[in-house]
Amino acid sequence: MPTTTENTLIIAKFGGTSVADFDAMNRSADIVLTDPNVRIVVLSASAGVTNLLVALAEGLAPAERTANLDKIRQIQYAIVNRLTHPDVIREEIDRMLDNVARLSEATALATSNALTDELVSHGELMSTLLFVEILRERNVPSEWFDVRKIMRTNDRFGRAEPDCDALGELTQSQLQPRLAQGNLIITQGFIGSEAKGRTTTLGRGGSDYTAALLGEALRVNRIDIWTDVPGIYTTDPRVVPAAKRIDLITFEEAAEMATFGAKVLHPATLLPAVRSDIPVFVGSSKDPAAGGTLVCNQTENPPLFRALALRRKQTLLTLHSLNMLHARGFLAEVFSILARHNISVDLITTSEVNVALTLDTTGSTSTGDSLLSSALLTELSSLCRVEVEENLSLVALIGNQLSQACGVGKEVFGVLEPFNIRLICYGASTHNLCFLVPSSDAEQVVQTLHRNLFEE
């Protein structure tokens, strides 16, 4: 972990695996206590809990519902029971679990996104309560802070967007005074509240984003993201064991990686960090001594090729216009239909009479195909012939000055001769070159490219 001097303020975020159980929570507490500049801590729900809550919110048969509730209870009780004085906190956790049970029975749940968010928020509420208790038993005074007091969002439940002005003001009035008193603050990632006070969530994996938003509002000097991998790698080490850790990377490069599927950071995390030029450190709470990656606004000698990202489950839409030849406004119409259905386009290529595009699923809970409602397809079909293909994966090569370099095409595609490559996007961004491959080939494509571009 990078060293800091006095008068620095650090916000540290711990992901689900870092607060999964009693031992993980204690390791995370150790990290917090190693650096007195860490004064505010953002937590995810204990690993697995959010998935169980989401399943409850989606509606389960009674037996499954009971089984899910039991699993959540087990995860949280396993922590409670290791405390020296479990009684007080057990009562609070029981109250939370009762809420969860009650909400999961509510008949309105299936149709109410607001109730869903209310239900799902309990994961972070419980993990933070337990963490405060662990600190208390270690004689570290800390304060549980309900982030919903300051994390004002719009009411797009399930994927709410923060109101940064309101967040800034509320942080100054509600949180800053608590910090000024010297308290160590423990708060929730992922959750917020809209103007009427109803609970919202920022989208799956949103705790990173919370940490960055709070970091910006508090003008911290660094945002530390503790997860289960010691930093950002040239590609996913589970796909390519020879992947190397990147010690220093720029915001742009890391943002591209997050957007294109590198799971280390939530794609929106870097927005506030870039805006306010706050370095972000990524490390593993299981092995803090292993170091990590520092994301900041500049690195020395940025390499042409930096990393490879892989995003699975892509949906490709190909639209054939019957009268696109010399027509005007076809693309505009396509985009306005997609916009009306709240769909953001990801990659796109066009020819005179065809448009091929992939749907952006970042941050959403759905896969591409479930974004494709029949209403949307009907509307598009009235305009053109629509073809939908699934089982594709997106490979993104991230780098610097890619569109200005010579020979990139040969170097990349030369070794990919055995594979069917679709929808190549190259040139619009200096930071990436993207294409689709059949999902069954995706890992092999990444392995081949990595060997050629990063291992020799």
Binding site for ligand ASP (CB under 6 A): 15-16, 44-45, 50, 123, 189-190, 204-207
Q: Which residue lies nearer to ligand ASP by CB, 190 or 226?
A: 190
d(CA 79, CA 100): 18
Instruction: Provide the minimum distance between the beta carbon of 190 and ligand ASP in the complex, in angstroms, as a whole number.
Output: 4
Q: Which residue lies nearer to Mg ion by CB, 20 or 217?
A: 20
Q: Where are the alpha helices (DSSP H) in 35-148?
A: 49-58, 62-80, 87-105, 113-120, 122-137
Instruction: Provide the minimum distance between the beta carbon of 188 and Mg ion in the complex, in angstroms, as a whole number.
Output: 12
Instruction: Provide the minimum distance between the beta carbon of 43 and ligand ASP in the complex, in angstroms, as a whole number.
Output: 9
- Tell me, by CB under 5 A, how many residues bind Mg ion: 3
Which two tokens mark 384? 């053109």
Q: Strand 292-296: give its sheet, edge to edge.
A: 142-145, 184-188, 38-43, 10-14, 222-227, 280-284, 292-296, 248-250
Instruction: Provide the minimum distance between the beta carbon of 214 and ligand ASP in the complex, in angstroms, as a whole number.
Output: 13
Instruction: Provide the minimum distance between the beta carbon of 17 and Mg ion in the complex, in angstroms, as a whole number.
Output: 8
d(CA 184, CA 10): 11
Write each residue from 94 to 113 as x if it is in contact with Mg ion (CB under 5 A), else as -, in one continuous string.
Answer: --------------------
Segment contacting Mg ion by CB under 5 A, of 7-15, 111-119, 143-151, 210-218: 7-15
Angle (nearest 5°) at CA 419 between 417 and 424: 90
d(CA 124, CA 19): 10
Neighbours of 84 (CB within 10 A): 6
Closest residue to Mg ion, based on beta-carbon distance: 16
Binding partner selected for residue 190 from Mg ion, ligand ASP, none, CB under the kind-specific 5 to 8 Å limit: ligand ASP
Identify residues 28-87 at the interface with Mg ion (CB under 5 A): 44
Q: Which residue lies nearer to ligand ASP by CB, 113 or 207?
A: 207
**Amino acid identity, position 10:** I
Instruction: Provide the minimum distance between the beta carbon of 18 and ligand ASP in the complex, in angstroms, as a whole number.
Output: 10
The count of residues in the chain is 456
Instruction: Provide the minimum distance between the beta carbon of 443 and ligand ASP in the complex, in angstroms, as a whole number.
Output: 25
The kind and range of the H/E element at 141 are none
Verify binding: residue 206, Mg ion, rule CB under 5 A: no
Q: Which residue lies nearer to Mg ion by CB, 123 or 399?
A: 123
Q: Which residue lies nearer to ligand ASP by CB, 58 or 455?
A: 58
Instruction: Provide the minimum distance between the beta carbon of 227 and ligand ASP in the complex, in angstroms, as a whole number.
Output: 10
> β-pairing, 354-359 with 10-14?
unpaired
**Pick from 13, 15, 255, 270: which binds Mg ion (CB under 5 A)?**
15
**Pick from 11, 14, 16, 330: which binds Mg ion (CB under 5 A)?**
16
Q: Which residue lies nearer to ligand ASP by CB, 50 or 358?
A: 50
d(CA 10, CA 27): 18
Q: Which residue lies nearer to ligand ASP by CB, 178 or 263?
A: 263
What does 250-318 look like in DSSP terms, one character per residue?
EHHHHHHHHHTT-TTS-TTTHHHHHHHT--EEEEETT-GGG-EEEEES--SS--SEEEEEEEEEEEEEE
Q: Reduced to 3 states, what is the DSSP secondary structure of residue 11?
A: strand
Q: Which residue lies nearer to Mg ion by CB, 72 or 434?
A: 72
Q: Which residue lies nearer to ligand ASP by CB, 17 or 321?
A: 17
Q: Output Rg (C-alpha) for the chain, integer angstroms.
A: 23
Instruction: Give residues with Cβ within 8 angstroms of 152, minimum separation 6.
Output: 162, 163, 166, 167, 170, 192, 193, 194, 195
Note whether 450 and 243 are within 8 A (CB): yes
Binding partner selected for residue 192 from ligand ASP, Mg ion, none, CB under the kind-specific 5 to 8 Å limit: none
Binding partner selected for residue 153 from ligand ASP, Mg ion, none, CB under the kind-specific 5 to 8 Å limit: none
Binding partner selected for residue 123 from ligand ASP, Mg ion, none, CB under the kind-specific 5 to 8 Å limit: ligand ASP
Instruction: Provide the minimum distance between the beta carbon of 257 and Mg ion in the complex, in angstroms, as a whole number.
Output: 17
Instruction: Provide the minimum distance between the beta carbon of 124 and ligand ASP in the complex, in angstroms, as a whole number.
Output: 6
Instruction: Provide the minimum distance between the beta carbon of 247 and ligand ASP in the complex, in angstroms, as a whole number.
Output: 24
Q: Which residue lies nearer to Mg ion by CB, 257 or 425?
A: 257
Verify binding: residue 267, Mg ion, rule CB under 5 A: no
Q: Reduced to 3 states, what is the DSSP secondary structure of residue 426?
A: strand
Closest residue to ligand ASP, based on beta-carbon distance: 207
How many CA atoms are closer than 13 Å to the CA of 393, on its beta-carbon side?
A: 18
By the criterion CB under 5 A, which residues form the site for Mg ion? 15-16, 44
